[in-house]
């Protein structure tokens, strides 16, 4: 029994690092995009298309990865994902214009599709009583990877003026990880350490004809898609926005601002559950959305390049925006039997990436016509829609 426990911990630690690496490389692109925007003379729409195709590739392949993970090809898929992650990161170093960047970013999106299904499915199957805790730690490993990638790449760009060096550094780590994982899991089969589920535990779809559950699921899903769109519009475009729109010290530190925002975002996500329990999902999201609208309007009116103004704004934005999405993720589970929670979670994430896809295209297109401030204007409009949706949820479903 102790040997099995130790072996699960052994596997889990490597899954943590895979999540750290995968999410880190995910956030390399937004951080170095500011340099590419200038070097390749990109438009906002072209930049949005790069992000959109990166997200779309992840969405499309992740369904197949999840299917074959259930068929116990997990170890092989993990190795394929790692080597492809390293390869696609290496190829992106050789980007020289918009079209090459678009192709390599799409390849990177395919590589990024492997990890989440593998890590979350394996963690869920290896643990039972403390499954939620282990999945939470799995997510935290990814958030740490995002911060590490953003800060390290931003510093390399500042001191060496080389986005290629940032990519190369993480590419080397990815290749080394592939070698280590291949050696570590040469004889280990994950399924040997899965905890067998009883018939009651097995995941099956709730096919209840309860229209209340269905309408609630649709409303929550719509809100989550909109939150994902805001995330893409503002957070993903943040370094480029500060680099090309703002001036002075703010422009020079544009990459670091994303990491700064994510740090406060992680804090927001950490307190999200407590906020939901204390105030209720609808009340808290409506209140936070109103507060964010007021904050964004003040920021746009000030239109300041002042360092302190931007630090305060992005700390507030990161903290409160990240409080919203975990509540919606948790709420979708209320619409499904406990046996089908994984299915509901998968739907939420897949549609969330579609929100990223649409937000990237629409935001980039409108930014070329008007200005990059349109990201924040669209953010306000979306937050108003979210308030309406949560108002309906509060009235009809009282949650």
Domain boundaries, the chain: 1-196, 200-399
Residue appearing with tokens 């992650």: 85
Are the folds of 1-196 and 200-399 the same? yes
Q: Minimal CA–CA distance to 181: which of 19, 24, 6?
A: 19
Query: pLDDT value at position 123?
Result: 79
Query: pLDDT value at position 212?
Result: 52
Conformation bin of residue 37: beta by default, left when phi > 0, alpha when psi is -120 to 50: alpha
Query: pLDDT value at position 132?
Result: 57
Residue appearing with tokens 């990223």: 356
Q: Minimal CA–CA distance to 32: which of 148, 145, 147, 166?
A: 166
Q: Minimal CA–CA distance to 54: which of 13, 4, 88?
A: 88
Sign, Cα dihedral of 347, 349, 352, 356: negative
Encoding tokens for residue 315? 């700390």
Query: pLDDT value at position 334?
Result: 57
Residues of the chain with pLDDT under 70: 1-5, 129-133, 135-136, 196-213, 329-330, 332-349
200-399 belongs to CATH 1.20.1250.20: yes
Query: pLDDT value at position 201?
Result: 47
- Which strand (E) or helix (H) includes residue 388? helix 374-397
Architecture of the 1-196 domain:
Up-down Bundle (1.20)
């Amino acid at each position: 029994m102790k040997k099995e426990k130790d072996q699960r911990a052994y596997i889990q630690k490597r899954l943590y690092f895979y999540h750290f690496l995968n999410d880190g490389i995910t956030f390399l692109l937004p951080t170095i995009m500011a340099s590419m925007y200038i070097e390749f003379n990109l438009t906002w729409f072209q930049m949005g298309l790069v992000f959109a195709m990166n997200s779309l590739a992840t969405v499309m392949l992740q369904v197949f990865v999840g299917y074959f993970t259930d068929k116990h090809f997990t170890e092989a898929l993990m190795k394929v994902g790692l080597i492809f992650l390293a390869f696609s990161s290496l190829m992106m170093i050789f980007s020289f214009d918009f079209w090459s960047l678009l192709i390599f970013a799409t390849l990177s999106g395919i590589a990024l599709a492997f990890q989440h299904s593998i890590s979350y499915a394996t963690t869920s199957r290896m643990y039972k009583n403390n499954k939620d805790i282990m999945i939470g730690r799995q997510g935290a490993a990814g958030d740490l990877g995002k911060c590490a990638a953003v800060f390290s790449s931003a510093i390399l760009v500042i001191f060496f003026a080389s986005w290629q060096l940032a990519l190369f550094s993480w590419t080397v780590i990815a290749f080394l990880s592939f070698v280590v994982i291949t050696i570590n899991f040469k004889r280990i089969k994950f399924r040997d350490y899965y905890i067998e589920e009883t018939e009651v535990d097995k995941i099956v779809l709730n096919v209840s004809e309860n229209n209340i559950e269905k309408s609630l699921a649709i409303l929550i899903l719509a809100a989550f898609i909109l939150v994902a769109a805001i995330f893409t519009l503002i957070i993903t475009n943040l370094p480029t926005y500060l680099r090309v729109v703002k001036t002075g010290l703010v422009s020079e530190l544009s990459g670091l601002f994303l990491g700064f925002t994510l740090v406060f975002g992680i804090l927001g996500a950490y307190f999200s559950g407590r906020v939901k329990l204390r105030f209720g999902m609808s009340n808290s999201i409506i209140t936070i959305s109103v507060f964010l609208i007021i904050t964004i309007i003040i920021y746009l009116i000030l239109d300041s390049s002042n360092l302190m103004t931007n630090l305060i704004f992005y700390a507030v934005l990161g903290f409160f925006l990240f409080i919203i999405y975990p509540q919606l993720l948790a709420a979708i589970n209320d619409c499904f039997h406990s046996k089908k929670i994984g299915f509901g979670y998968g739907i939420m994430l897949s549609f969330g990436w579609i929100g990223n896809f649409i937000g990237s295209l629409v935001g980039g297109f409108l930014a070329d016509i008007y200005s990059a401030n349109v990201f924040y204007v669209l953010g306000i409009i979306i937050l108003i829609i979210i308030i309406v949706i949560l108002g309906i949820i509060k009235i009809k479903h009282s949650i």
